[in-house]
Chain A
Amino acid sequence: MTAATRADAGPDDLATVQRSPARRAGAAAGSSMTRHACGSCCTKLSRLVVRLGTSTVLDGIDLHLHCGELTALIGPNGAGKTTLLRALLGELPFSGEVRFLDAATGRRRRPRFGYVPQSLEFDQGAPLTVADLFAAALARFPVWLGHTAALRARATAALARVQADHLFDRRVGDLSGGELQRVLLALALEPLPDLLLLDEPVAGVDAGGRENFYGLICALRRDFDLSILLVAHDLDLVARHADRFVLLNRTVIAVDTPAAVLAHPECVRLFGRLTPDPALRHPHAVLPHAGSHA
């Protein structure tokens, strides 16, 4: 996000936001620290290479992901989009460096990731409520004995961020695709990550639900100064919300504004020329507010 758009975004952006302590740090809910919106925290991927067996799946990936930016990862099937996310999460071995530069402390460290998986496969019949899921992820008190008041408060607050607090007592298997994605998003945001990774988060969600979901993450990006990396297929929809597109095909082909990447010769070759969308030229002009997307 440029300095100009940041200045236009209004005083809300510069307000401090509550930031919950890391799960490892202690109890279900404890003291909070605050984070200022700055735009200068950054996750840096340098010379990242992923090899599977003898083939090199990703080669020489250099990317800077700034806070407050929604970066969409696009590319053909087999380009290595999901592979890149899996490498970042530590599921695949890679060479190269992934570091998070914390502007507040000036220190470099391993980034803390939030993750919303692709088409989540899980046991639909499991006796597991949304509250149970949050307790499993956030609390020390064993889920099989119930939930502490602190956990209930923390989980409800996390769900409220994505307007999903009414889902607290629902069984996970009974949620619709869109509801499940919002619950998983709320979980990925608690504690607030340095980098939020979304792998085709709206696959299997209807058109209205997709629009809502993207509107929601845009609002969250602004409110919490989040850095988001999103794997996406619905290019025209994402183009209206993303700050940057990264065209990936085994390596980074292009990094630029959505309009510029969509006009890139390689992108045109892969996806054809997309119909120009009037909103594309001013993506932030149509940025919706969280409240309007309940």
Chain B
Amino acid sequence: MLAPWYQLCALLPAPWSQFLFLQHALLAILLLCPLLGLLGTLAVGNRMAFFADAVAHASLTGLAIGVLLGATSPLPVMLVFAALFATVLTVLRRQSSASTDTHIGICAAAAVALGLTLLSRGRGLAQFTSYLAGDLLSIAPAELLALAGAGCVCLLVWWFAFNRFLLASFNPALARSRGDNIAALEFSFSILLAMLVTLALPWVGLLVINALLIIPAAAARNLSRTMRGYHGIAVGGGLCCGLAGLALSYYADTATGATVALLAALWYFITVPFSRRPR
């Protein structure tokens, strides 16, 4: 199914384009970076940076449960657990405003602790460490197709529901007065975000996934004044950082996820002088 992609890669002038694993990694970057950048725009607007990080941590509990259940691939269990965790966090977010970050911190810590406890009992801690840094170069065609599928779902949701998400994010009371169901919107965005983060986790790595989600959008905020500009710069910036990071990690022999995150952080700091000061 990926044959056309291989032919396309073979046309690239770069010496590394002949390696199959790099062709896969390149496709993964092309799928993941724009997607995370796209969802990052609303995650930043809703102040959900910490939320996404907590969900990524909680995915490890899903991994542990999956391993204990003897599943050949722990991913479905991880996705279900991430969705559950996102639901619980959203309930907490909705109930209290002042101490939400404390609640999220406690839930994330509890989930990680549970995951570590379960994994250490089953002597599965080695699996855990591979999720910390992620391994983009080991992605297989079937997993690429899963990412492409997730990408289609995200794009569909973004096409049909983004306007509703945006109004609810701007002012919930205003959105409600216009007939929007705020609870449904908050839960669906949280769950969508949690599942995308979990799906990307094995390739990007727990320690840097939030960078790919939050930083392109945060940098785009500094440079844009309209929603279209915001999305364009977030997606484009994420993609450029991803491609540059993949190339750099190949030549410098470093972890791809971390290299991409580092470049993204650099990109953010470049945009800071252009940010607007609050009125």
Cβ contact within 8 Å between B279 and A146: no
Q: Which of B45, B160, B164, B227 has the most CB of A within 10 A?
A: B227
- A 127-140 to B, binary, CB cutoff 8 A, 1 in contact else 0: 11101110111011
Q: How far is the CA of A117 from the CA of B114 in the complex (A)?
A: 43
Shortest Cβ gap from B192 to chain A (Å)? 15
Closest-CB distance, A211 to chain B (whole angstroms): 24
Task: Point out the residues of chain B lying under 8 angstroms from A90, CB to CB.
Answer: 176
In this assembly, does B163 line the interface, its C-beta being within 8 Å of a C-beta of chain A? yes
Q: Which residues of A contact B177 (CB under 8 A)?
A: 89, 113-115, 188, 197
**B167 interface neighbour in A129, A137, A172, Cβ under 8 Å:** A137
> What is the CA–CA distance of A133 and B168 in the complex, to the nearest angstrom?
11
Given known contacts A89-B177, A135-B163, A173-B279, A143 and B170 CB-to-CB distance under 8 angstroms = no
Residue B231, interface by CB 8 Å: yes
Tell me, yes or no, whether B230 is within 8 Å of chain A by CB: yes
CB distance from A20 to the nearest CB of B (A): 13
B220 & A127 in contact (Cβ 8 Å cutoff):
yes
Q: Mark B170-196, 1 if CB is under 8 A from A, else 0.
A: 110110111100000000000000000
Instruction: Mark A47-85 against chain B: 1 for CB-CB distance below 8 A, else 0.
Output: 000000000000000000000000000000000000000
> Complex formed: what's the CA distance from A195 to B23 in Å?
59
Would you call A127 and B171 a contact (CB within 8 A)?
no
**Count of A residues near B, CB < 8 Å?**
41
Q: Which residue of A lies closest to B173 (CB)?
A: A117
Q: Which of A113, A128, A142, A171 contacts B170 (CB 8 A)?
A: A128
CA distance A115 to B170 in the complex (A): 14
Q: Are B230 and A174 in contact (CB under 8 A)?
A: no
Q: Closest chain A residue to B178 by CB distance?
A: A137
Query: B278 at the A/B interface (Cβ < 8 Å)?
Result: yes
Interface of B is mostly: helix
Q: Is A8 an interface residue (CB 8 A)?
A: no
Q: Is the CB of A117 within 8 A of B174?
A: yes
Residues of A within 8 A of B162 (CB): 142-144
In contact, A132 and B167 (Cβ under 8 angstroms): no
**Residue from the set A125, A131, A136, A197 with the largest chain B CB neighbour count within 10 Å:** A136
Query: Which of A89, A125, A136 sits near B173, CB closer than 8 Å?
Result: A89
Q: Which of B38, B170, B177, B230 has the most CB of A within 10 A?
A: B177
Is A91's CB under 8 angstroms from B158's CB? no
Please indicate the chain B residues that have their CB under 8 angstroms from the CB of A86 in the complex: 173
Task: Please tell me if the beta carbons of A139 and B163 are within 8 angstroms of each other in the complex.
Answer: yes
**Within A95-121, which residues are at the interface with B (CB < 8 Å)?**
113-115, 117, 120-121
B244 at the interface (CB under 8 A from A): no
Specify the chain B residue showing the minimal Cβ separation from A147: B228
B226 at the binding interface (Cβ < 8 Å) = yes
Known: A139-B163, A143-B163, A144-B158. A122 touches B171 (CB 8 A): yes
The B-contacting residues of A in range 15-71, CB under 8 angstroms, are: 23-24
Q: Which residues of A contact B178 (CB under 8 A)?
A: 23, 115, 137
The reply to whether the CB of B103 lies closer than 8 angstroms to some CB of chain A is: no
Q: B227-261: contact bitstring with A at CB < 8 Å (1 yes, 0 no)?
A: 11111000000000000000000000000000000
Docked complex Cα distance between A90 and B159 (Å):
27
Question: Measured between alpha carbons, how far is A248 from B171 in the docked complex, in Å?
Answer: 27
Contacts of B227 in A (CB 8 A): 127-129, 132, 135, 143-144
User: Footprint of A on B, CB under 8 Å?
Assistant: 38, 41, 45, 158-160, 162-164, 166-167, 170-171, 173-174, 176-179, 220-221, 224-231, 275-276, 278-279
- Could you list 5 A-B pairs, sorted by A, with CB under 8 Å? A86-B173, A125-B275, A126-B221, A127-B229, A133-B170
Name 7 extra pairs, CB < 8 A, besides A117-B173, A127-B227, A172-B170.
A137-B163, A137-B178, A142-B162, A143-B163, A143-B228, A144-B230, A173-B276
Return the 5 tightest CB-CB contacts between A and B, nearest first: A115-B177, A144-B231, A127-B230, A127-B224, A136-B166
